[in-house]
């Protein structure tokens, strides 16, 4: 179990499914379990591709 | 003597006398114990009268407890009628086994809230039920207030073009209760906003023409607006509704709508368009988060939320309580 | 997510909408199979941003909606046992069974509790261990939810908790897609694959589907920018005559998925035939507990007997769930059937298409 910050509120979440996650990583949480980590680089890439004119 | 509430305390005999004289009287004032009914001299000729029951669970939550809630809830209802709160009654149903220390705490909160609101607790009642039949404390407060000459606010005054204001950010009480619910528990949420709003409401009445006041308790802003939208449509600008970031985070986490969460220290003011500027300025003096969130238009009695994408969707009150008992 | 505002940015959305309009030359039908996407598409009015020739279809993506009435009836029957505490996700509480809902059962005295996570049910089971009471967790959900249930069951087994069991009604997306695509007159030209299901399972199961059915499949997220990005990727393939699997939700979805989650599923569950509302029994489409975990299988401990289940005859949820009807096609939509008094699951579930269209309908222009 770990503590996940949801933008100001924190909650205990099971991290057993993301054993490589470290403090500071962003995770997707579903029903009390982390189901994936978020790749910031990939996020930035999509956003830059969709810049408003 | 025992340190918990026992059935004997509810029996009307010496044990009850002990409870009244050693616990309830010292908290709310000995006057409240004196007569079967209180006689009030300063209520004026037009009296506002209201009652509410409080079954909140847990009894204490971040920012308050059932004592504070019971006083503020009724004080605020009086304020929503345009009244100056004058006096409250406090009826308690206590569960056998409730620690007296907890009772003292809730009574102290009630007394402090009454002092803050400038209102007296003048009478009440105390009963005890068997363990398992009461969930700690159930409280009922009734209140009377004085409505000044010329004050006439209510849904009958709503008109096309009126502006909807809120006195501060929304959903704090609902979020605070959620944060201490077993299983849902999370940390970091702002505390409940439970507080008396009568003083601000009264100032507002003096500064601007007000058509209607409502406090968004159970069911939140959505409930209040849905109730008021009879014969007219209310349009709300989603982006303009103030919600504290941690309340928003909590609702995203749990899949709830902050516009359906309770507030216990906020109110909605509906004012004619030409009074909106002054009214909002006054509200913002007390709470910078106060905001203009919408307006009334001709329509069929629905509440529409306009989002950043140029779309509108129906804003509805929740079917039931998505939460455990919150007020 | 700190960037969530960026993914909801109306200007970025418009950029994508313009690119879609510039790409489309023919009518196309695109289906999604994720209740969260259904909800988001309707809520953000994405269809309003798209050219008329593009049709968005909602498929069987809401796990609550596809759960057949028989499962609800089974859960209600189990909940009515005095020794049982039935724990469920909130959505299931008001779904109509043959004779009332779990909420009705609760009002009549059944111990039914709403939980956020199977871990809450597990915790309650620990508190009730040895008391003779048993916590039964109603396990609905796709491959996103199933790993959590798998882990909870493993922990219960490791702790030898006699007070925990799960009524498993989990479903898998790929077999349902195959069933939809087996129709000689397929309803869709392209598919948005569910972002969070794929976060767990990866994309490998979708490669043979794309190939066999010449269907472009794009893994897509849930925010307006993600959805439009996914739709653009689908129409780009359709216009070019391609049919590949494209991951447009790479910030969350790795092609191989989340290994630890998939392994948990493998250890605890095995595929089985499952009945889907609107589609009947589909082989291998359900997940059931492996024999090693039989003691934790509420379906085995409390077998269902009794009357066959039935639905309200006016309810067209089955056709809505396969994209053959829109909620507004239903005679009861918005009148006899509303979220306050639903006739079927698609109107009561927060991810159901009928509920989405009811809640998010636009204000009629005066």
Query: How far does Cα C255 stand from its chain's mean position?
Result: 21
CA distances, B70 to each of B74, B88, B112, B113, C51 (Å): 7, 10, 12, 9, 55
> Which positions ≥6 away from C12 have C-beta within 8 Å?
A47, A50, A51, A52, C6, C225
Distance separating alpha carbons of residues C327 and C344, to the nearest angstrom: 11
Find the mean pLDDT for residues C329-339: 92
**C102-128 pLDDT, tens digit each:** 999 999 999 999 888 999 999 999 999
Chain B residues in contact with A52 (beta carbon < 8 A):
none
Query: In this structure, are residues C216 and C242 in contact, taking their beta carbons and an 8 Å threshold?
Result: yes
Q: Which of A32, A38, A44 to mutate to test the interface with C (most CBs of C within 10 A)?
A: A32
Q: Where are the beta strands (DSSP E) in chain B?
A: 47-54, 60-61, 64-65, 83-95, 120-129, 137-147, 163-166, 212-214, 232-237, 268-271, 291-298, 303-306, 312-314
Q: Report yes or no: A34 and A28 within 8 Å, Cβ to Cβ.
A: yes
Maximum CA extent, chain A: 44
Residue A10 in contact with partner chain B when CB distance is under 8 A: yes
Reduce the DSSP state of residue B259 to 3 states and report it: helix
pLDDT at B204: 97
Question: What's the whole-number mean pLDDT along residues B251-276?
Answer: 92
Q: Give the integer Cα–Cα distance in Å for A30 and C148.
A: 9
Confidence of residue A9 (pLDDT cuts 50, 70, 90): confident
How confident is the model at residue C207, as a pLDDT? 97
Residue C148 lies in a domain: yes
pTM over 0.95, yes/no: no
Distances from the Cα of B41 to the Cαs of B34, B71, C50, in angstroms?
Answer: 17, 21, 68
For C325, the token pair is 């009807």
b/e code B59-70 from CB counts within 10 Å (16+ = b): bbbbbbbbbbbb
A31 neighbourhood in chain C, CB within 8 Å: 89, 116-118, 141, 145, 148
pLDDT at B1 over 80: no
Q: Which residues of B touch A13 (CB under 8 A)?
A: none
Is the pLDDT at A49 greater than 90, yes or no?
no
**For residue C349, is it within any domain?**
no
Asked which of B30-39, B178-187, B239-248, C141-150 is least confident by mean pLDDT, the reply is B178-187
User: Region A31-48: what's the mean pLDDT?
Assistant: 86
Structure tokens at B56: 């909140």
Greater model confidence, B324 or C81: C81
User: Considering only CA atoms, which of B156, C18, B34 is closest in space to residue A50?
Assistant: C18
- C chain contacts of residue B245, beta-carbon cutoff 8 Å: none
A11:B186 CB<8 A: yes
| Contacts by B14-17, CB closer than 8 A, 24 or more apart | B16/B126
Among B26, B8, B37, smallest CA distance to B103 is for B26
Q: Please tell me which residue of chain A has the smallest CA distance to B185.
A: A11
Closest residue in B to A12 (Cα) is B186
Candidates B183, B233, B314; nearest CB to C120: B183
Contact flag C196-A26 (C-beta cutoff 8 Å): no
Are the beta carbons of A11 and B253 closer than 8 angstroms? yes
Closest-CA residue in chain C for B178?
C116
ipTM: 0.89
Q: Give chain C's domain count.
A: 1
For residue C178, is pLDDT > 90? Answer: yes
Whether the CB-CB separation of A39 and C205 falls below 8 Å is answered with no
CATH topology of domain B7-147: 60s Ribosomal Protein L30; Chain: A; (3.30.1330)
Evaluate if residue C85 carries a pLDDT over 50. yes
Query: Any chain B CB within 8 A of the CB of C335?
Result: no
**Model confidence band, residue C364 (pLDDT cutoffs 50, 70, 90):** confident
Closest by Cβ to C360, choosing from B233, B254, B313: B313
| Per-residue pLDDT band at B236 (split at 50, 70, 90) | very high
**CATH number assigned to the domain covering A2-49:** 2.30.30.140
A42/C250 Cβ within 8 A: yes
Domain spanning B155-314: CATH 3.90.650.10: yes
The reply to whether residue A35 touches residue C9, judged by beta carbons under 8 angstroms, is no
- Nearest-Cα distance to chain A for B186, in Å, is 5
Closest Cα in chain A to C141: A31
- Greatest alpha-carbon span in chain C: 67
In the structure, what pLDDT confidence band is assigned to residue B325 with cuts at 50, 70 and 90? Answer: very low
Look at C120 and A52 and tell me if their CB atoms are within 8 Å.
no
DSSP per-residue letters across B189-202:
PPPP-----HHHHH
The verdict on a CB contact (< 8 Å) between A7 and B187 is no
Q: Is the pLDDT of residue B179 over 90?
A: no
Q: State the DSSP H helix or E strand holding residue C191, giving kind and residue range, or none if neither.
A: strand C190-194
Strands A10-13 and A2-5: antiparallel
B89-103, C273-287, C341-355: least confidently modelled range: C341-355
For residues A31 and C138, give the distance between their C-alpha atoms in angstroms, rounded to a whole number.
13
C141 is in which domain, residue-wise? 65-173+258-300
Cβ separation B246–A7 shorter than 8 A? yes
Residues 6+ apart with CB under 8 A from B7: B96, B128, B130
Quickly state the pLDDT bin for B183 (edges 50, 70, 90).
Answer: low
Q: What is the DSSP letter of C100?
A: B
Query: Over 80: is that where the pLDDT of A29 sits?
Result: yes
CATH number at residue C288: 3.40.50.11740
- Say yes or no for a CB contact (<8 Å) between A32 and C148: yes
CA-wise closest residue to B269 among B320, B230, B211, B220: B211
Mean pLDDT of chain C, nearest integer: 92
CA distances to B38, B51, B198, B199, B240 from B116, in Å = 21, 19, 10, 10, 30
pLDDT category at B322 given cuts 50, 70, 90 is low
Q: Are C116 and B182 a contacting pair at CB < 8 A?
A: no
Q: How many angstroms separate the CA atoms of C14 and C44, rounded? A: 12
B250 with A6: Cβ contact below 8 A:
yes
Question: Closest Cα to residue C114, out of C100, C101, C126?
Answer: C101
Helix (H) or strand (E) holding B249: helix B245-254
Residues 22-81 of chain C with CB under 8 A from chain B are 43-45, 48-49
Can you read off the two tokens belonging to residue C118? 């199977």
Question: What is the pLDDT, as a whole number, of residue B182?
Answer: 63
Instruction: Check residue B324 and give its pLDDT.
Output: 45
Nearest CA in chain B to C363: B312
Provide mean pLDDT across the span B315-322: 72
Q: For position C1, what pLDDT does the model report? A: 46
> Nearest C-alpha of chain C: how many angstroms from B322?
9
- For residues C120 and C161, give the distance between their C-alpha atoms in angstroms, rounded to a whole number: 14
Q: List the single residue in C with minimal CA-CA distance to A41.
A: C251
- C-chain CB neighbours of B325 within 8 Å are none
Neighbours of C100 (CB within 10 A): 14
Tens digit of each residue's pLDDT (9 = 90 or more) over B296-317 = 999 999 999 998 877 788 887 7
Asked whether the beta carbons of residue A7 and residue B248 sit closer than 8 angstroms, the reply is yes
Please judge whether C264 and A40 are an interchain contact, meaning their C-beta atoms are less than 8 angstroms apart: no
Q: How far is C87 from chain A (nearest CA, A)?
A: 13
Are C257 and C201 in contact by the 8 Å Cβ rule? The answer is: yes
Query: Which residue in C has a C-alpha nearest to residue A39's C-alpha?
Result: C251
Cα–Cα distances in Å, from C107 out to B204, B325, C139, C281? Answer: 44, 15, 22, 32
State the DSSP string of C33-99. --HHHHHHHHHTTHHHHS-TTEEEEE-S--HHHHS-HHHHHHHHHHHTSTTEEEEE-GGGGG--BTT
pLDDT category of residue C193 using cuts at 50, 70 and 90: very high
Query: Which residues on A lie below 8 Å from B185 (Cβ)?
Result: 11
C104-C106-C110 Cα angle (round to 5): 125
Best mutation site among C258, C264, C265 for testing chain A: the one with the most A CBs within 10 Å? C258
| Residues in CB range of B12: below 8 A, 6 or more apart | none
Query: Residue B149 in contact with residue B83, Cβ under 8 Å?
Result: no
Percentage of residues of chain B with pLDDT beyond 90: 73
Q: CA nearest B204: which of B138, B266, B123?
A: B266
Residue A53: pLDDT band with limits 50, 70, 90 = low
Q: For residue C360, is pLDDT > 60?
A: yes
**Contact partners of B by the rule of 3+ C-beta pairs under 8 A?**
A, C
Q: Searching chain C, which residue's CA lies closest to the CA of residue B298?
A: C366
| Residue the block writes with tokens 């250890």 | C267
pLDDT average, residue stretch B266-285: 98
Answer yes or no: do C363 and B302 touch at CB < 8 A: yes
- The pLDDT of residue A6 is 83
CA-CA distance, C70 to C78, in Å (whole number)?
Answer: 12
Biggest CA–CA distance in chain B, Å, is 68
Going from the C-alpha of C22 to that of each of C19, C227, C232, C315, the distances in angstroms are 5, 17, 10, 39
pLDDT at C198 over 70: yes
Which chains touch C (3+ CB pairs under 8 A)? Answer: A, B
DSSP state at residue C141: E
């Amino acid at each position: 179990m770990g503590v996940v910050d949801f933008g100001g509120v924190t909650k205990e979440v099971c991290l057993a499914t993301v054993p490589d996650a470290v403090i500071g990583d962003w995770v997707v949480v579903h029903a009390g379990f982390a189901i994936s980590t978020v790749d910031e680089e990939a996020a930035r890439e999509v956003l830059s591709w969709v810049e408003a004119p | 003597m025992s340190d918990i509430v026992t059935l004997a305390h509810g029996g009307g005999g010496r044990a009850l006398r002990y409870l009244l004289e050693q616990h309830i009287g010292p908290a709310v004032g000995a006057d409240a114990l004196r007569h079967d009914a209180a006689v009030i001299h300063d209520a004026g000729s037009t009296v506002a009268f209201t009652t509410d029951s409080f079954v909140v669970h847990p009894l204490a939550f971040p920012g308050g407890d059932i004592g504070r809630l019971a006083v503020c809830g009724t004080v605020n209802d009086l304020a929503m009628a345009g009244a100056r709160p004058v006096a409250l009654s406090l009826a308690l149903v206590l569960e056998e086994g409730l620690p007296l220390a907890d009772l003292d705490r809730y009574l102290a909160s009630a007394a402090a809230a009454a002092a803050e609101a400038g209102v007296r607790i003048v009478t009440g009642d105390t009963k005890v039920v068997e363990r398992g039949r009461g969930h700690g404390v159930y409280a009922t407060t009734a209140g009377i207030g004085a409505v000044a000459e010329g004050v006439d606010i209510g849904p009958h005054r709503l008109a096309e073009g009126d502006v909807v204001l809120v006195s501060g950010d929304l959903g704090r009480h609902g979020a605070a209760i959620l944060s201490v619910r077993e299983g849902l528990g999370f940390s970091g949420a702002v505390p409940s906003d439970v507080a008396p709003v009568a003083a601000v409401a009264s100032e507002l009445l003096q500064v601007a023409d007000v058509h209607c006041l409502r406090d968004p308790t159970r069911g939140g802003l959505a409930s209040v607006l849905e109730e008021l939208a009879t014969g007219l449509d209310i349009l709300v600008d989603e982006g303009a509704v103030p919600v504290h970031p941690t309340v928003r985070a909590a609702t995203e986490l749990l899949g709830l709508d902050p516009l359906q969460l309770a507030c216990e220290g906020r109110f909605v003011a509906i004012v004619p368009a030409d009074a909106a500027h002054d009214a909002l300025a006054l509200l913002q003096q007390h709470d910078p988060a106060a905001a203009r969130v919408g307006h009334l238009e001709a329509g069929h009695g629905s509440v529409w939320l306009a989002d950043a994408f140029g779309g509108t969707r129906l804003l509805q009150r929740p079917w039931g309580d998505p939460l455990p008992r919150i007020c | 997510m700190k960037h969530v505002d960026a993914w909801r940015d109306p200007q970025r959305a418009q950029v994508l909408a313009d690119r879609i309009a510039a790409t489309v030359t023919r009518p196309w039908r695109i289906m999604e199979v994720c209740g969260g996407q259904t909800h988001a598409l309707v809520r953000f009015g994405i269809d309003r941003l798209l050219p008329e020739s593009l049709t968005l279809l909602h498929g069987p993506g809401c796990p609550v909606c596809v759960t057949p009435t028989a499962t609800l009836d089974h859960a209600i029957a189990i909940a009515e046992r005095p020794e049982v505490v039935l724990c469920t996700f909130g959505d299931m509480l008001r779904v109509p069974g043959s004779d009332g809902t779990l909420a009705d059962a609760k009002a009549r005295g059944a111990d039914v509790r709403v939980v956020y996570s199977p871990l809450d049910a597990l915790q309650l089971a620990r508190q009730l261990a040895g008391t003779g009471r048993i916590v039964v967790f109603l396990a609905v959900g796709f491959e996103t939810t199933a790993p959590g249930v798998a882990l909870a069951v493993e922990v219960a087994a490791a702790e030898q908790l006699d007070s925990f069991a799960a009524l498993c009604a989990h479903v898998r997306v790929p077999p349902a897609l195959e069933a939809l695509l087996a129709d000689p007159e397929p309803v869709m030209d392209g598919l948005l694959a569910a972002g969070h299901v794929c976060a767990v399972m990866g994309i490998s199961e979708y490669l043979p589907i794309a190939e066999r059915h010449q269907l472009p499949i794009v893994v897509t997220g849930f925010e307006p920018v993600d959805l439009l990005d996914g739709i653009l990727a689908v129409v780009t393939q359709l216009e070019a005559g391609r049919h590949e699997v494209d991951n447009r939700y790479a910030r969350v979805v790795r092609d191989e998925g989340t290994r630890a989650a998939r392994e948990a599923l493998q250890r605890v569950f095995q595929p089985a035939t499952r009945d889907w509302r609107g589609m009947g029994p589909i082989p291998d489409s359900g997940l059931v507990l492996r024999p090693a975990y039989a003691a934790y299988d509420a379906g085995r401990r409390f077998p269902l007997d009794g009357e066959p289940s039935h639905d309200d005859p006016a309810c067209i949820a089955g056709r809505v769930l396969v994209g053959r009807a829109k909620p507004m096609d239903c005679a009861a939509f918005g009148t006899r059937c509303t979220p306050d008094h639903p006739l079927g699951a698609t109107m009561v579930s927060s991810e159901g298409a009928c509920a989405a269209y009811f809640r998010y309908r636009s204000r009629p222009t005066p």
